[in-house]
Chain A
């Protein structure tokens, strides 16, 4: 293994009631890499993403088998608190969902509840700067975050996630609700954030996966069909189905 692992799963099975959504998923996520999860709708890629920070615990009547490791520590153990997992493995959602509070409070709230002791103004400023949002909002930190455009809201959500200093950021189709210009900004941001964080991104946009990720995993019906370097997946797929999906013949 050439890179250090941020997270990996081993024979992960996941069930919504009687419906099995993931079958024996074993996948490695290298530290400081961007991994893209692709596949048609309903193939289980979002489910996997939500397993990685135990978000699925919140849905009743779900269960999982197998192991998920965060830096070689299992995150499903009895002694592991999902709250701690979610702080270290942050999440950005498909639809921008800032809190209906001020821009400042959106960043400060997560830090405050996690017991941040530093200078809050500074944290807000650096978090917004890392997301290239500072110049756009520095005059209106006390205004409601819902007044921002969709793209700005999504960058604010990323800023709020990195303010609690996670190691891994999960992104669930973060640009599917945004226009091309906002999408480009988010993609630039992902490239920038890669230096510091491990990013796992679910996307329906093949070009996006190609642009931002080093590794790609292709899912079909809850099974990993193929995983590896993005360049290999896109240009030398071993599987017929991978090639068919990427070239747009189905999905």
Chain B
């Protein structure tokens, strides 16, 4: 094989087979490296999820103030009649408290289920005095049994910290009663404000920069560079900006006092609208950059065919460029909004409430959001709040994943209409 089949001298030499083997070996090393990188990321993800779910489920040690077995046969409160439940309440609770319940809704008009729940919370009053992780619950039953024996009068129960009650209850200083409701609505309001503010402004700015602005002019280039830089600025700085501008300077507007309907003596700028506007500013550069990339990706042949028919610039943009880039614009926007949902630092600066139990009702309400709530719970001294925080993390993840899913479904539907 020293010469090629034509009989001429070849510069590729004799070792063709060795050469190929060496090249393949080289490729295999890289293949393994890429594979390892993927495996590491997937493992990290699995560890993260396991860690969360480990804290969401597990056995808890509960101490009842009054065991339910003392109140009802077999401890089944719902088997009692309405009258029996009311007399239990009157027997154990103060007159003032009974009067307050009657004021909220007369006890005689409440259903057995409601009354039983009231008895459960007010009289039985179970307290979680110890919580174990899923791993401990599964593999260290001896320890749990010993702990149970050390606390007479307690019971061990398997508890999912993530429950329907957790979703609909507001914040509570006792871990087993704490819920995510207020924070969930806070996050929801925030998303809506961010979508309404940042999406149209971001897309409009992207259209201007991509279609109208002439990049050879110096100030357009400065704007361009600055937008890229803004996208990389730490979020806490946006928080400080929001504090200075929305909370302080624009306080009459963000507190709602100029619009009336709020008490001017207690109103301040630390409201949901300030937070929403701050987060909108935070993700605006990201939306602009993503939308610009989407618009840039529209093939010039599509624009040319539109112009060639006598379309104006606006007709070309509206009828062809935007429909062709809308799926990518949407994906970019949803990713940006997902980032906004997870932001904590700027909201701390803008003044999210750490303990609040009323749902946000207007743009000028005090608020908290899921990440703020998670942060606050995990900083509490009682260890059971770790479990509560883990359950809230699951809610946050589900919220994000479902938003991403909506984006993917919408994108696929749009692109399907445009292709065959």
A25 in contact (CB, < 8 A): no
Given A60-B216, A83-B312, A147 and B301 touching (CB < 8 A)? no
Q: List, in ascending order, chain A residues with CB within 8 A of B311's CB.
A: 83, 110, 113
Interface pick from B87-95, B189-197, B302-310: B302-310
A47 in contact (CB, < 8 A): no
Q: What does the 1/0 interface line of A81-104 toward B look like (CB < 8 Å)? A: 001101100110101011110000
Q: Interface on chain B toward A: helix, strand, loop, or mixed SS?
A: helix
Residue of A nearest to B310 (CB): A87
B148 in contact (CB, < 8 A): no
Q: How many A residues touch B, CB cutoff 8 Å? A: 29
Q: Are B319 and A60 within 8 A (Cβ)?
A: no
> How far, in angstroms, from A93 to B305 measured CA to CA in the complex?
8
Q: Are A99 and B310 within 8 A (Cβ)?
A: no
Contact of A86 among B216, B303, B310 (CB under 8 A): B310
> How far, in angstroms, from A84 to B299 measured CA to CA in the complex?
24
Q: List, in ascending order, chain A residues with CB within 8 A of B303's CB.
A: 58
Q: Are B308 and A90 within 8 A (Cβ)?
A: yes
A26 in contact (CB, < 8 A): no
Contact of B215 among A60, A84, A146, A160 (CB under 8 A): A60
B330 in contact (CB, < 8 A): no
Q: Are B319 and A157 within 8 A (Cβ)?
A: no
B150 in contact (CB, < 8 A): no
Q: Are A61 and B309 within 8 A (Cβ)?
A: no
Contacts of A94-121 to chain B: CB distance below 8 A? 95, 97-100, 109-110, 113-114
Q: Are A147 and B307 within 8 A (Cβ)?
A: no
A161 in contact (CB, < 8 A): yes
Q: List, in ascending order, chain B residues with CB within 8 A of A97's CB.
A: 299, 301-302, 304-305
A213 in contact (CB, < 8 A): no
Q: List, in ascending order, chain A residues with CB within 8 A of B302's CB.
A: 97, 99-100
Contacts of B310-326 to chain A: CB distance below 8 A? 310-312, 315, 319-320, 323-324
Q: Are B216 and A61 within 8 A (Cβ)?
A: yes
Q: Are A100 and B301 within 8 A (Cβ)?
A: no
Q: List, in ascending order, chain B residues with CB within 8 A of A147's CB.
A: 420
Q: Are B310 and A114 within 8 A (Cβ)?
A: yes
A55 in contact (CB, < 8 A): yes
> How far, in angstroms, from A114 to B306 measured CA to CA in the complex?
12
Question: What's the nearest-Cβ distance from chain A to residue B69, in Å?
Answer: 71
> How far, in angstroms, from A114 to B309 measured CA to CA in the complex?
9
Q: Are A55 and B215 within 8 A (Cβ)?
A: no
A164 in contact (CB, < 8 A): yes
B214 in contact (CB, < 8 A): yes
Question: What's the nearest-Cβ distance from chain B to residue A219, in Å?
Answer: 22
B418 in contact (CB, < 8 A): yes
Q: List, in ascending order, chain A residues with CB within 8 A of B100's CB.
A: none
B23 in contact (CB, < 8 A): no
Residue of A nearest to B301 (CB): A97
Contacts of A121-166 to chain B: CB distance below 8 A? 143-144, 146-147, 157, 160-161, 164
Question: What's the nearest-Cβ distance from chain B to residue A251, in Å?
Answer: 26
Q: Are A164 and B420 within 8 A (Cβ)?
A: no
B419 in contact (CB, < 8 A): yes
Residue of A nearest to B306 (CB): A99
Q: List, in ascending order, chain A residues with CB within 8 A of B418's CB.
A: 100, 144
Q: Are A53 and B305 within 8 A (Cβ)?
A: no
Question: What's the nearest-Cβ distance from chain B to residue A195, in Å?
Answer: 22
> How far, in angstroms, from A93 to B308 measured CA to CA in the complex?
9
Most buried by A among B216, B304, B309, B315: B309
Q: Are B315 and A53 within 8 A (Cβ)?
A: no
Q: List, in ascending order, chain B residues with CB within 8 A of A95's CB.
A: 301
Question: What's the nearest-Cβ distance from chain B to residue A62, in Å?
Answer: 12
> How far, in angstroms, from A20 to B418 measured CA to CA in the complex?
40
Q: Are A87 and B309 within 8 A (Cβ)?
A: yes
Contacts of B169-205 to chain A: CB distance below 8 A? none
Q: Are A100 and B309 within 8 A (Cβ)?
A: no
> How far, in angstroms, from A84 to B315 measured CA to CA in the complex?
14
Question: What's the nearest-Cβ distance from chain A to residue B305, in Å?
Answer: 5
Question: What's the nearest-Cβ distance from chain B to residue A31, in Å?
Answer: 20
Q: Are A144 and B308 within 8 A (Cβ)?
A: no
Question: What's the nearest-Cβ distance from chain A to residue B326, in Å?
Answer: 12
> How far, in angstroms, from A99 to B320 measured CA to CA in the complex?
8
Q: What does the 1/0 interface line of A51-71 toward B look like (CB < 8 Å)? A: 001010010110000000000
Q: What does the 1/0 interface line of B249-280 toward A look like (CB < 8 Å)? A: 00000000000000000000000000000000
Besides A109-B319, A113-B319, A144-B420, 18 other CB < 8 A contacts? Answer: A55-B308, A58-B304, A86-B307, A86-B309, A90-B308, A90-B309, A93-B304, A93-B305, A93-B308, A97-B299, A99-B306, A99-B320, A100-B419, A113-B311, A113-B315, A147-B420, A161-B309, A164-B310
Minimum-distance CB pairs A-B, first 5: A87-B310, A110-B309, A91-B308, A97-B301, A147-B420
Give 13 pairs: A residue, B residue, CB < 8 Å, sorted on A.
A55-B304, A60-B215, A60-B216, A91-B304, A93-B305, A97-B305, A100-B323, A100-B419, A113-B310, A113-B312, A113-B319, A146-B419, A146-B420
